[in-house]
Amino acid sequence: MASQYNSKHSIPMIRNRLIRNIVMLSVMFFTGYAASWEPSTARAAETAAAPATVTAPTETETTYALQHMIIPGILFSENGSRFFNDLFTGNNAPFLEIVEGPLGKAYASGMKIVPEHFQEFDIVIISFPTPYPEPLCIHSALVKKGDTFRYITLESGNDTTKNGTKTFLCEWSAEHVHKNFGPRKYVTAAEFRAELISLLKQ
> 17 exposed, middle or buried (CB, 10 Å; 0-12, 13-18, 19+)?
middle
For residue 181, the model assigns a pLDDT of 95
Per-residue pLDDT at 39: 34
User: pTM for the full model?
Assistant: 0.79
Name the residue ranges covered by the structural domains of the chain.
Answer: 16-200
Q: How many residues does the chain have?
A: 202
> What per-residue confidence (pLDDT) applies to 54?
57
CA dihedral (159, 162, 165, 166) in degrees, to 10, reads 50
pLDDT in 10s for each residue of the chain, 202 residues:
445 554 433 333 444 455 445 544 544 444 444 443 333 333 433 444 445 555 777 888 889 989 998 899 899 998 899 999 999 999 999 899 888 888 999 999 999 999 999 999 999 999 999 888 888 999 999 999 999 999 999 999 877 777 889 999 999 999 999 999 999 999 999 999 999 999 999 8
Inter-axis angle of helices 93-103 and 16-29, to 10 degrees?
120
Q: How far is residue 108's CA from residue 99's CA, in Å, rounded to a whole number?
A: 6
